[in-house]
Amino acid sequence: MYTINRLTLLEGLANAGQFQMKAMLLAAGVGSRLEPLTCQIPKPLVPIANAPVMEHLLLLLKAHGITEVYANLHYLPEKIREYFGSGEQLGMKLTFHTEEKLSGDAGGVRAMKQHLSDETFIVVMGDLFTDADLTYIINQHKTKKAMASIAVKRVDDVTRFGIVVQNDDGFITGFQEKPTVEEALSDCASTGIYILEPEVFAHIPADGEFGFGRQLFPQLVKKGLPVLGIELPPGTYWSDVGTIPQYLQSNSDALDGSVKLQAANVKNAYAGGENGNGAKRDIRKFITEGTKIAEDAKIDGVLMTGKNCVIESNVIITGNVVLADNCTISEGAKLTDSVVWSNAKIGKNAKIAPKRAKTRNHVTTSNTQKLPGHTPPAPI
């Protein structure tokens, strides 16, 4: 029987129920399903509510007391290094490893073995957008003495996800990769959040491509080792920002309060309570310094802007719209449920809306695209 040969994390809790442990963020993906957005920047830097998706993940980790983070990079790695640096401005310690040749997600973690072999650690896919209670997940992993744990979420469409099959105690007995509805033995999908004990490294080959979902986890289950499925609590927001439709939906969800975010530009709009689950917000605080809005512009929805945007006369904005830094919306333009990246100009009387174009055209970029603010915010 597998046992943990060290003090459990629960016996080493830091103040306020937070955990002193390390995290591995998988940020090496190319993001081909997000093209053409990822032709300019790597997927971890694609902005949601004017902050890179990776920044949202880092701030979530920090909110649960995890500030030492390792990440593997591959596509446009210099841009990620330039944006985050050492992590100091986020109040965190970041260490990057560039993979010249991709080695699978478990292979990417293997490359950081020397940093992760001394204690329980968490692995998070770098394209997730979530407010998952990481403290709860870690508690469950430790309480049930698992070697590996996978956070899972019930889904409506099992054909889009890797599905886990569990026994009555929550331990995983099998996996199904995107089964048909008739074949599915469960509706619980892997969320790309894992809690691992260092002992898992003994089950990862020393070299070559190796993955979690198709290789490591099924092999651990086959060997009779404890792999736990931990269902995210009801109300948890989780999204895989892997396609443009889902990217747009995630931006919309960030603005309407469906997800609890740690980024200051969102948190500051919620007075007297946390954002998430439709909490009351002051949408005026989504308008950033230097933005000018014509008196006769009509905003019938929720608008978030970056710095120094200009919204000219007779502009109509409906639904949930995000403008990054230095955007100009010219006279008479109409925007509905759209995301406009920095330095873009929407022409006079232009119309950008779901009914007029394919989904990919709702995200507008420019040839001089820069990340919002370019530098992460000071620690909060």
pLDDT tens digit string along 111-157? Answer: 999 999 999 999 999 999 999 999 999 999 999 999 999 999 999 99
pLDDT of residue 267: 74
pLDDT of residue 264: 84
pLDDT of residue 19: 52
Please report how the helices 77-84 and 53-63 are oriented relative to each other, as an axis angle in degrees rounded to 10: 50
Rounded to an integer, what distance in angstroms lies between the CA atom of residue 285 and that of residue 263?
Answer: 13
Rounded to an integer, what distance in angstroms lies between the CA atom of residue 105 and that of residue 135?
Answer: 23
Q: Which domains does the chain have, with CATH numbers?
A: 9-242 (3.90.550.10), 250-364 (2.160.10)
Which two three-digit tokens encode residue 249?
């939906």
pLDDT of residue 275: 54
pLDDT of residue 147: 98
pLDDT of residue 376: 43
Rounded to an integer, what distance in angstroms lies between the CA atom of residue 209 and that of residue 217?
Answer: 15
Q: Note the pTM of the prediction, 2 decimals.
A: 0.88
pLDDT of residue 279: 53
Of all residues in the chain, the percent with pLDDT exceeding 70 is: 84
3-state secondary structure of 52: strand
DSSP code of 296? T
Give Cβ neighbours of residue 71 (< 8 Å, ≥ 6 apart): 24, 25, 26, 27, 54, 80, 94, 95, 96, 97, 126
Half-sphere exposure of 338 (CA within 13 A, CB side): 29
pLDDT of residue 370: 56
Rounded to an integer, what distance in angstroms lies between the CA atom of residue 68 and that of residue 4?
Answer: 22
pLDDT of residue 272: 47
Q: Is 170 within 8 Å of 149 (Cβ atoms)? A: no
Instruction: From first to last of the 380 residues of the chain, give the pLDDT tens digit.
Output: 444 443 344 344 443 344 579 999 999 988 999 999 999 899 999 999 999 999 999 999 999 999 999 999 999 999 999 999 999 999 999 999 999 999 999 999 999 999 999 999 999 999 999 999 999 999 999 999 999 999 999 999 999 899 999 999 999 999 999 999 999 999 999 999 999 999 999 999 999 999 999 999 999 999 999 999 999 999 999 998 989 999 999 999 999 889 999 988 787 776 545 555 545 567 677 999 899 999 999 999 999 999 999 999 999 999 999 999 999 999 999 999 999 999 999 999 999 987 543 433 356 666 555 554 444 443 33
pLDDT tens digit string along 12-59? Answer: 444 334 457 999 999 998 899 999 999 989 999 999 999 999 999 999
pLDDT of residue 289: 85
pLDDT of residue 356: 43
